[in-house]
Structures are given as C-alpha cells and as structure tokens.
Amino acid sequence: MLATRQVALGQPTVGEEEIEALREVFASGWLSGAGPTCVAFEGELAAATGTAHALATSNCGSSLHLALQVLGAGPGDEVIVADYTFPATGHSVMWTGATPRFADVRPDIGTIDVDAAAALVNERTVGIIAVDMVGQPADYDELAALCRSRGLWLMEDAACSAGATYKGRPAGSLADLAAFSFHGRKGITAGEGGALVGDDATRMDLARKLHTYGIAPAVSREGSSALAVPSFDMAGYNYRMSDVQAAMMRVQLTRLPALVAARTSAADGYAERLGDVEGIALPVVAEDRTHPYQSYLVTTDDSVDRDAVVMALRERGVGSNFGTYASHLQPVYGTQDVCPVSARLFTTQFALPMHANLVADDLDYVAEQLRAVLADPAVRR
C-alpha cells in the first residue's frame, strides 16, 4: 500500500529555546564536559527528581556502570535484573565482572515481579536493578522491603521515566541510586546523555570522581589562587556530559511537565480510538503511578502475528517496532534463567508512534491503519 502520510515512531520536541541555550554556551567558550552548564543542570535535575545529588553523564549505560561501581558490585557477585529491558541493564552488570540474574516481570505492566526476584536471592546476591518499563515505575515499596530484609541495595533503571511518579514520589527518588537516559527517543533529550541521581553524598562523590578519569572535574579548580595539579589515585572513565548537551537538557527539563501531559493526551487518544479492537490489548497503568509514555506498547493475542503487523504498519507510513528485549534470551549472557512472561511479551508487544508532537490527525491515521492491518487475514494466524 502507498502511504498517504508518515507518522514517526518517536520525535524530539526542540525549538528556539534550545537554540538560544546553545548560543549562550558557544559564547561562553566552555563546550567540553562537566563544566558550569552541567553543574547548573545537575542542580535542576536533583530538584526535579527529589534527590540530593545529580551527576550528568555521557549516557544511561555509563550511569548504570558508575552506580554499580560505587555500590561495590564485582566478580563473584550476582545482581538481579528485571528481564524485560534493553540489554544495557544486564551489560552494565557484566562490565563490573558481576553476573546478572534475570527475574521475570509482571504480565500487565512489564516491571520486575517481586516474587520472581525474591526467588533468585542467594548468598552471592548483592542487589536488585528494577527497570521502569517504558517509563512506568516498578513496585518500589515491595522491592525496598525485600532488599531491607536480605541486606541488598536497590537500583532504579529510570532510563525512560523522566516525569513519572510512584505513589506521588518522582522517578529517580525511588531507590538507592537511579540512572536516566536522554537518548533521542526519550521523553527529554539532548540526542544522547544520561544522569545518575541519589541521596548518599559519599557514593555520589565517588561516582563523580570515577566519571572524570579518577580526578575532580576541571570546573572545581576554576579560580584557584595556585596552580592545581590533580593526582590520579584510581582508574576512572570519561563518562562526562558536554556542556553543549547540558544546555539543551536545562531547557528540556523546563518542558518536562508539558511533554508528559502531551504524551498522556496521545495515550488517552489511542485508548479512545482503539479500545474496542479485537486481537490486541492496550497498555495498563497502575493506579498509584504516573506513566510518562516513553513508548506506547500494544500486546497482540495468539490470533495475531506481531511481526506481520509491524511490517504492514511501516508500509502504511506508521512508525512501529517491537517492544524491548527478553534479556535472558540474548546469547551474550549465556544464562539458564527462565522468564516465560518476559519471553512472551518479547514476541507479542509492538510500539505505536508516541511523542509529544502527535496531533489528532496523526492519532486518527494510526488508528485507521492499525484497524485495517488487523482486518487483513495475512496478519492472522
């Protein structure tokens, strides 16, 4: 079929405010990492997430790695990871030499199943990484109780959840440490980038040192009355965000409430247009949570060929893709963990266009095309 229009799967919301912020950074002469604009963004992000400290990083993967380093994960340890997630979560555990153990997820919202996580705890377990599935927070009160009872730390993979809440508390404040992503598909973005947030000053100070090769950032030496020559006493990394990215992120952070509202309105629009369609189930939102809808995932039943639906939608100009990964099935991990719920979601969920720039005509077109695709016997089993 010849598409009559194109509706992108994802799209950032940027404009003159971001351009003006970039001009100011260019004029300042400080474009590199961990500079004064990063410092300003970190303070604003900490306030927005209800945490004491924030650290701007190169991406979410580096934030996860830093968190695991300062929490002490290493060879011989096991870290329980929510299975239904982009593999950066499991990879970050492997980067420390620890072993990821994959816990199955809730069938309704795709976040870590607390009982499944509890069943994996053993003498080698040091912590749990919960994932806010496409933005919706996990069951943090229950997870925190489990971790307290077993002497474990709890980490929040908040890659997709800027603007989300759990029982009135903002994403980022729900665990010992939390990692955000500012990739181009995320709710707020600088194209790339990430952040680590938390309340423990000792951990966050160590993370800051590690993220700059093992020394304090250069901005901390500005204005010194004597020549400051740092001494390297540990091998750190170059995990810094540039001030160019931070300038964009400061503007994006001010947009966050409006962006979440626009995505929520789009999700409500899909529910109105698709609620009666057979063969699919629309996203579920827990009553005590705010979902920022980084993605809008639809689940097919056994009568529908998910892959055929995605390809047919693309032919009609509707951006679509699979949901995310059942991590335990990825060969890199070589795990014997079994996660049947996650495995099923991996083969039955697909994403419809979701971003803050969608208008009613876009939603009408997507719904019309999805109905037409599902009515085609070619996508039915």
pLDDT in tens, 75-130: 999 999 999 999 999 999 999 999 999 999 999 999 999 999 999 999 999 999 99
Mean pLDDT, the chain, integer: 97
Q: What is the pLDDT of residue 17?
A: 98
pLDDT for residue 286 is more than 90: yes
In contact, 150 and 169? CB cutoff 8 Å: no
The residues near 272 (Cβ < 8 Å, ≥ 6 apart) are none
186 has catalytic annotation: yes
Q: What is the pLDDT of residue 46?
A: 98
Q: What percent of the chain has pLDDT over 70?
A: 99
Please count the CA atoms within 13 angstroms of the CA of 126 that sit on its side-chain side: 19
Q: What is the pLDDT of residue 218?
A: 83
Rounded Cα distance, 381 and 375, in Å: 12
326-347 confidence digits (pLDDT tens): 999 999 999 999 999 999 999 9
> Which of 334, 317, 369 is closest to 9 using CA atoms?
317
Residue 223 confidence class, pLDDT cut points 50, 70, 90? confident
Rounded Cα distance, 38 and 57, in Å: 9
pLDDT for residue 221 is more than 90: no
pLDDT for residue 2 is more than 70: no
Query: How far does Cα 281 stand from its chain's mean position?
Result: 23
Residue 222 confidence class, pLDDT cut points 50, 70, 90? confident
User: Domains, the chain, ranges and CATH?
Assistant: 16-253 (3.40.640.10), 256-379 (3.90.1150.10)
State the DSSP H helix or E strand holding residue 23, giving kind and residue range, or none if neither: helix 16-28
Q: What is the pLDDT of residue 155?
A: 98
pLDDT for residue 32 is more than 80: yes
229-283 confidence digits (pLDDT tens): 889 999 999 999 999 999 999 999 999 999 999 999 999 999 999 999 999 999 9
Rounded Cα distance, 61 and 93, in Å: 10
Q: What are phi and psi of 380, to 5 degrees?
A: -100, 150
In contact, 327 and 102? CB cutoff 8 Å: yes
140-183 confidence digits (pLDDT tens): 999 999 999 999 999 999 999 999 999 999 999 999 999 999 99
The residues near 328 (Cβ < 8 Å, ≥ 6 apart) are 83, 102, 335, 337, 338, 339, 342, 343
**DSSP at 70:** H
In contact, 185 and 356? CB cutoff 8 Å: no
Q: What is the pLDDT of residue 3?
A: 79
List strands edge to edge, sheet with 165-166: 169-170, 165-166, 289-290
According to DSSP, the residues that pair with 238 across neighbouring strands are: 212
Q: Find the catalytic residue in 186, 250, 255, 263.
A: 186
Q: How far is CA 117 from CA 81, 146, 213, in A?
A: 8, 9, 34
First CA to last CA distance, the chain: 21
Instruction: Please write down the HEC assignment for all residues of 52-65.
Output: CEEEEECCHHHHHH
> Which of 121, 190, 109 is closest to 151 using CA atoms?
121
The residues near 375 (Cβ < 8 Å, ≥ 6 apart) are none
Q: What is the pLDDT of residue 1?
A: 66
Rounded Cα distance, 342 and 103, in Å: 9
Beta strands in the chain (DSSP E): 53-57, 78-82, 99-103, 125-131, 153-157, 165-166, 169-170, 177-181, 194-198, 280-281, 289-290, 296-300, 321-322, 349-352
